[in-house]
């Protein structure tokens, strides 16, 4: 039995108790007690187990859980800052909200709006949970989510843009043409926004730049010629932030191993521009 399966066994009676009584205290206490925070790595298996169980929940009970997760998601950074024991509740909630939106279509619009709000949270774990939640939705509703992401991009909010590019950064999702094609298109749009931006000292911009430092390499493993062509153009701009993004992606083993010659071409161009 895996750790996730063991945790599911612990969670099931707690969920059943919540459905019967409407009281979530036992479930919340279990999650907080097993959070693994503060530490470099939260108990991700617990978050996976909770989301994994949602496929087995009756529709009427999903509605109850959706409302509960919205409550957890509203726990602010003031109430539960990074590494606070209660931070794990909104983390689990954001991931699970995306999962419920992918299971039951009627919850999708609300889930998308909530995750968009959560994407601007100043807690890095919360933003990671948003990525996971969005990936559930992108997997189930690819075209609808592509359309949503295009709306987000127009507002040019750095943290929303970060959520979008990281949502595409999943190898399994990128094997599907509609997702990989739009992933590349989206990255090009976001990188154009970065290039045009004059606000580069904010924490929000830095968070977006850091994400782009690895997400593009995942796109490149699928859309190889186009992606490397884009990276060469970025390297040639002379824009220090764009060049940093390109160089960080060129460091990724997935590209070095699979496309050593293409990586060297881009690196030579970066070195030439630097010189």
Q: Tell me: the pLDDT tens digits for 23-57?
A: 999 999 999 988 875 555 668 899 999 999 999 89
Q: Which residues contact 98 (CB under 8 A, 6 or more apart)?
A: 111, 115, 130, 132, 133, 134, 135, 136, 137
- Report the candidate in 148, 134, 142 with the shortest Cα–Cα distance to residue 178: 142
pLDDT band for position 142 (cuts 50, 70, 90): very high
Q: Which long-range contacts (CB under 8 A, 24 or more apart) does 173-176 make?
A: 173/135, 173/138, 173/139, 174/218, 174/219, 174/221, 174/222, 175/222, 176/142
Contact 111, 101 (CB under 8 A): yes
Beta carbons of 86 and 92 less than 8 angstroms apart: no
Residue 268 three-state SS: helix
Q: pLDDT tens, 233-253? A: 999 999 999 999 999 999 999
Mean pLDDT of 210-215: 98
What pLDDT shows up at residue 39?
A: 58
pTM of the model: 0.94
Joined together, the tokens standing for residue 231 give: 């990276």
pLDDT of residue 274: 76
Cα separation, 32 vs 71, whole angstroms? 15
- Determine contact, residues 81/87, Cβ cutoff 8 Å: yes
The rounded mean pLDDT for the chain is 94
Cα gap 234→227, rounded to integer Å: 11
**Percentage of the chain exceeding pLDDT 90:** 87
């Amino acid at each position: 039995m895996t750790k996730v399966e063991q945790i599911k066994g612990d969670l099931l009676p707690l969920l059943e108790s919540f459905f019967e009584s409407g009281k979530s205290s036992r479930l919340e206490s279990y999650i907080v007690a097993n959070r693994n925070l503060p530490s470099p790595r939260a108990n991700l298996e617990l978050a996976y187990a909770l989301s994994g169980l949602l496929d087995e929940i009756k529709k009427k009970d999903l509605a109850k859980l959706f409302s509960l997760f919205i409550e957890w998601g509203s726990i602010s950074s003031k109430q539960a800052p990074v590494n606070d024991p209660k931070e794990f509740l909104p983390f689990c909630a954001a991931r699970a909200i995306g999962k419920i939106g992918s299971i039951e279509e009627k919850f999708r619009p609300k889930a998308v709006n909530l995750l968009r709000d959560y994407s601007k949270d100043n807690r890095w774990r919360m933003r990671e949970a948003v990525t996971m939640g969005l990936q559930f939705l992108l997997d189930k509703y690819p075209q609808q989510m592509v359309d949503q992401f295009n709306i987000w991009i127009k507002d040019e909010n750095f943290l929303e843009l970060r959520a979008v590019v990281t949502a595409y950064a999943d190898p399994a999702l990128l094997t599907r043409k509609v997702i990989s094609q739009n992933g590349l298109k989206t990255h090009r749009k976001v990188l154009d926004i970065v290039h045009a931006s004059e606000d580069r000292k904010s924490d929000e911009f830095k968070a977006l730049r850091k994400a782009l430092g690895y997400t593009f390499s995942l796109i490149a493993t699928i859309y190889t010629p186009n992606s490397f062509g884009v990276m060469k153009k970025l390297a040639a701009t002379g824009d220090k932030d764009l060049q940093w993004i390109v160089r960080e992606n060129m460091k990724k083993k997935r590209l070095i191993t699979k496309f050593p010659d293409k990586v060297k071409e881009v690196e030579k161009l970066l070195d030439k521009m630097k010189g």
